[in-house]
Structure 1
Amino acid sequence: MVEMVGGHMPLARNIAVVVTLLAGARLQAADPEVQVDFNRDIRPILSTHCFQCHGPDAGKRQGELRLDTRDGAMAPRKGHRTIVAGQPGDSELFRRITAESADDRMPPEEAKKPLTKSQVELISRWIKQGAKWKEHWAWITPSRPALPSPPDYLDFVRTPVDRFLLERHYAEGLIPSSPANRVTLVRRAFLDLLGLPPTPEQVDTFVNDARPGAWKRLVDRLLTSPHYGERMAIYWLDVVRYADSNGYHSDEARQIAPYRDYVIKSFNNNLRFDRFVTEQLAGDLLPKADATQKVASGFNMLLQTTSEGGAQAKEYLAKYSADRVRNTSSIFLGVTLGCAQCHDHKYDPFTMSDFYRFGSFFADIKERGVGNPPSYPVRVGAIDESLTAVETRIAGLQKALVTTTPELTAAQAKWETTAEAEARQSVSLSPWSVIGPFPAANFEEAHAKAFPPQKEVDLKKAYDGLKWVAAAKFVDGKPHTLAGQNCATYLFRTITTKQPRKLVVSLGSDDSIKLWLNGSVSFEKKILRGVAPDQDKATLEPRRRREPPADEGGQRRRGIRVLLPHLAEFSAGPGAGGPEAARGQAQRRPEENDRRPLSPDCPGPEAGS
């Protein structure tokens, strides 16, 4: 687009010029000197009329003839050649498509795909001009052409692109249009770059701007508008099949708008195309990927997903994978790899194996086959600003919390000593009492049956002829052998604590064990193993009630030990008793972190700000 000011011709004259130029264009196209392009003119004919029987599908190929490759089309064949460059009359291909006999003519009548006269003429001209073969356009390496030098209308040229336009116009017998007036120019610029017409005020501003460079300033201003990215994103979002719903079943809404915003910002920020591609294909895999790059990889989720009841997850995961292959190959490679999903490609060099190998690149995407919810939270606008402020505040508080001072170290040591002593004094354990064994028919019954001690505990009462007796030999933390086979033995003790607290109990068994607290089962395990201390742990919360913990089973060994409260368990941890500064934050014990927020000696939030 160039900055020019000029008038316009009457409508009738415009129509006459257009008709004349179009007629000229048709005459040029019929000129035998005009170069025939294989990809544009010949490959579509061969693909439509010949590849079905003479293409890449070996199972359907006739006469061992391939016309989808240069080697197959040009190779000698039994005394003749299919295509002889420069010689249509010596080319078997041309002889067969012009044969009078229905038995010799190709394509055969039963194919119902006869060639038109113009198609036959194109093939003849192509062979006369040397039968120049081209690979599929997607495989041709782009190269920078030399700038053409059209002989006329060079005053039309404002940019290098104009030279190419002018050369093509000249070849087609066209001349440049008259320069557009400023009202038309500003309207075109707005519609092209923003998708919206200018306001009357914006039109007047441009029309009345007599300074040099008015057009450049207008374009620059439009390119910096946020609406420019919105306009450009429309085309990309169409290509990648962006949608705010899932597509299948009831077409539920999906939360993927941040990807749309990423595309808009990429155009507004003039993001390099290689980065644009990389971030969409694998932004989440980049080193130290930021939130924007992770959002960009949402490209991989732009496909139809289902949440329909009864849908098979593995089936739909396979569909999603195939969809990604089709989408990615068509967008970034410009090829129809999707045609090879069920068979080898009919005319492009892709096999069915290639299709599924391509899909392996996306095999590490974690997703559900049915019901695929958003998996990455995105913070936008005011929410992001608010959360950022909160996170900054939290970071300051955490920094203050780990700050060490001599006063805090001394207070921490004093508190640990006092707290540990109080914890040990606040819990008391009665001696063990034991009753049993209660016989059972087998091991399963011994574990499952509710014997009398499970229903009540009265240390003075007999149950099935058995009485509770003091178990002085039971020492916490050591294994003990219990009498009998396929039977249950119960042990009982009272735990007294001045205030509600959690207690950790360490257990060991060689087969079956159950633990009751206040009439409720707190722990249960049925297993065959050798007994050892501390094989299992259970957390208890004592209340005002007395019911039996129990231990069931046949001839087996047991190790039962009651630990002190959770706090005391840590008092023997790494570095205990040493200076806090020597331990460092990595070795700080949990009870220290429990105390610091409540310590009057702990530095305030300002210390970490």
Structure 2
Amino acid sequence: MPWVILRSLICCLAVLSLCLPPEAAAGKVDFNRDIRPILSRNCFHCHGPDATHREADLRLDREQGLKATDASAIIHPGQPDQSVLFERVSSKDPDLVMPPADSGKKLKPTEVNLIRQWIAEGSPWSQHWSYVKPQPVKTPTIKDQSWPVNWIDNFILSRLEAENLKPAEEADKVTLIRRLSFDLTGLPPTPAEVKRFVDDPSPAAYEKLVDRLLASPHYGERMAIYWLDLVRFADTVGYHGDQDHHISPYRDYVIDAFNQNLSYDQFVREQLAGDLLPEPTLQQKIATGYNRVLQTSHEGGVQRKEYLAIYAADRIRNFSAVFMGATMGCCQCHDHKYDPYTIKDFYSMVSFLQISMRTST
């Protein structure tokens, strides 16, 4: 998949996330959007994944814990007033209310009402969106069939029509080339480039402009900014004397990967363990510089084993955030209180990454 398409799809997903589904527009409660955040902020510390701090043998991060059907049931779908969960979060009795008064947490009236409404609607549960396999979504039907250029526009126009709003007028060609140039290369168009685009009467003028900008070496430089920020790239070590890192070949690898439209799976594989591939190229070995773009101490008195542990923990935090879209940082010291990761998972991942670090260190 071309990088520009991948990035565009990410942007589209962000836009579509604002385009609430018909159920939400009608006031229907969504578990992931409305209920899970309330439980995560207020309840998971004592009734979540961390067995060490779990109380009453109750887990509210799992469906079977929330919706038990035996005598321990805390929810009766459709009957909030008969549900222990609603009774406890809405109680005025300091000895009964949840979260406990001494926890420093308290549900807002709007949050209590959301829980009541959710139970009244049958308490539908859903897994966190990041662990759910994406499914095809039906393209919305719209009234103004002439406005959309592609199927994504239907989602935007559908919401606008639901709110009795109209799309903004299409931008003029000078504005379009300026926006596109900044977006794909980070640079403004030259006067000659603007004139050539404005004077091009072809229906494919915009597509040709996109192709030209994608072919520019500045495209890779622009796209690399986002990735290098994610992997905390820097030219210095970050500790004490802040000595030079000499890691610019890795930066160039990332830029070239975007310009060459390297597939994402290969991009990931080469950075994590390019040196372990069969007959790795010099560029694939350079790609493993990802494992070295972190703070490293050059102080003479550092304890080697201590800092190796510090480096390993930093890599796990970055790896989980960048490649998993989650965080395992909390698991360095204890089972995660909000996500399904344990301290064992953390140190198992340390061992996994050490395989490639043996040769790239």
TM bucket normalised to smaller: 0.7 to 0.9
Query: What is the distance in 2 between the residues matched to 1:104 and 1:322?
Result: 40
Paired amino acid for 1:294 = K
Equivalent in 57, 62, 68 of residue 64 of structure 1: 57
Q: 1:89 to 1:34 in 2, by over 3 A?
A: same
For residues 565-596 of structure 1, the C-alpha deviation after alignment (integer angstroms, 9 at most, x for no partner) is xxxxxxxxxxxxxxxxxxxxxxxxxxxxxxxx
When residues 174 and 276 of structure 1 are mapped into structure 2, their CA distance, relative to the original with a 3 A threshold, is farther
The equivalent of 1:322 in structure 2 is: 313
Q: Amino acid of the residue matched to residue 44 of structure 1?
A: P
2:125 match: 133
Partners of 1:178 and 1:263 lie apart in 2 by 37
2:240 corresponds, among 249, 255, 258, to: 249
CA deviation after TM superposition for structure 1 residue 288, in Å: 1.2
Secondary structure, counterpart of 1:155 in structure 2: coil
Change (3 A) 1:320 1:270: same
**Alignment equivalent of 1:52, drawn from 45, 48, 70:** 45
User: What's the offset of the Cα at 1:333?
Assistant: 1.0
Structure-2 change in CA distance of 1:297 and 1:144 (3 Å): farther
Partner of 2:338: 347
What is the Cα deviation at residue 175 of structure 1?
3.0
C-alpha spacing 1:357/1:174, structure 2 compared with 1 (3 Å): farther
Structure index of larger Rg: 1
Within a 5 Å distance, the mapping from 1:421-440 to structure 2 comes to: none
The separation in 1 between residues aligned to 2:117 and 2:219, in whole angstroms, is: 46
Residues 355 and 288 from structure 1, CA distance in 2 versus in 1: closer, same or farther, beyond 3 angstroms?
same
1:30 is displaced (CA, Å) by 8.5
Residues 499-532 of structure 1 show CA distances to partners (whole Å, capped at 9, x for unaligned) of: xxxxxxxxxxxxxxxxxxxxxxxxxxxxxxxxxx
Letter matched to residue 270 of structure 1 = N
> 3-state DSSP class of the match of 2:287?
helix
- Structure 1 residues 515-568: Cα deviation after superposition (integer angstroms, max 9, x where no partner): xxxxxxxxxxxxxxxxxxxxxxxxxxxxxxxxxxxxxxxxxxxxxxxxxxxxxx
Which residue does the alignment assign to 2:146?
155
1:34 & 1:55 partners in 2: Cα distance?
Answer: 28
TM-score, normalised via structure 2 length: 0.88
Give the residue type in structure 1 aligned to 2:118: W
Question: Which protein has the bigger helix share?
Answer: 2
Identical amino acids, percent of aligned pairs: 51
Are 1:240 and 2:231 an aligned pair? yes
Larger RCO (CA within 8 A; separation ≥ 6): 2
User: Cα distance, 1:164 vs. partner?
Assistant: 2.7
Where structure 2 has 5 or more consecutive residues not aligned to the other structure, the ranges are 1-18
TM-score for the superposition, normalised by structure 1: 0.53
Offset from partner CA, 1:245-266 (integer Å, 9 cap, x none): 1111211111111111111111
Structure 2 residue corresponding to 1:337, chosen from 328, 333, 340 = 328
Alpha-carbon distance in structure 1 between the residues aligned to 2:235 and 2:208 = 37
User: Take 2:352 and 2:24, find their aligned partners in 1: how far apart are those partners?
Assistant: 48
Structure with more of its chain in strand, by fraction? 1
What is the Cα deviation at residue 312 of structure 1? 0.4
Q: Deviations over 1:247-294 (max 9, x none)?
A: 112111111111111111111111111111111111111111111111
In 2: Cα distance, 1:103 partner to 1:172 partner: 45
CA contact (8 A) 1:54 1:62 kept: yes
CA positional deviation for 1:199 = 2.1
Q: Is the 8 A contact 2:336 2:343 kept in 1?
A: yes
Shift in Å, 1:226: 0.6
1:365–1:271 distance in 2 versus 1, CA, 3 Å: closer
Contact conserved, 1:150 with 1:166, CA < 8 A, in 2? no
Question: Counterparts of 2:107 and 2:24 in 1: how far apart (Å)?
Answer: 18
| Structure 1 gaps, min length 5 | 1-24, 369-373, 376-609
AA in 1 matched with 2:145 = L
Q: How does 1:483-498 map to 2 (within 5 A)?
A: none
CA displacement, residues 104-160 of structure 1 (integer Å, 9 cap, x when unaligned) = 2222222221111221222223223332222232321223333x1322222221122
1:124 aligned onto 2:120: no
| 8 Å Cα contact 2:276-2:356 kept in structure 1 | no
What's the counterpart of residue 296 of structure 1? 287
Given residue 85 of structure 1, which amino acid in structure 2 is its aligned partner? P
1:113 aligned onto 2:117: no
Task: Assess if the C-alpha contact under 8 Å between 2:185 and 2:218 holds in 1.
Answer: yes
Paired residue for 1:95?
A: 87
Please report the RMSD computed on the Cα atoms of aligned residues, expressed in angstroms: 2.4
Closer/same/farther in 2, CA of residues 136 and 112 from structure 1, 3 Å limit: same
Question: Is the CA contact (8 Å cut-off) linking 1:340 and 1:355 kept in structure 2?
Answer: yes
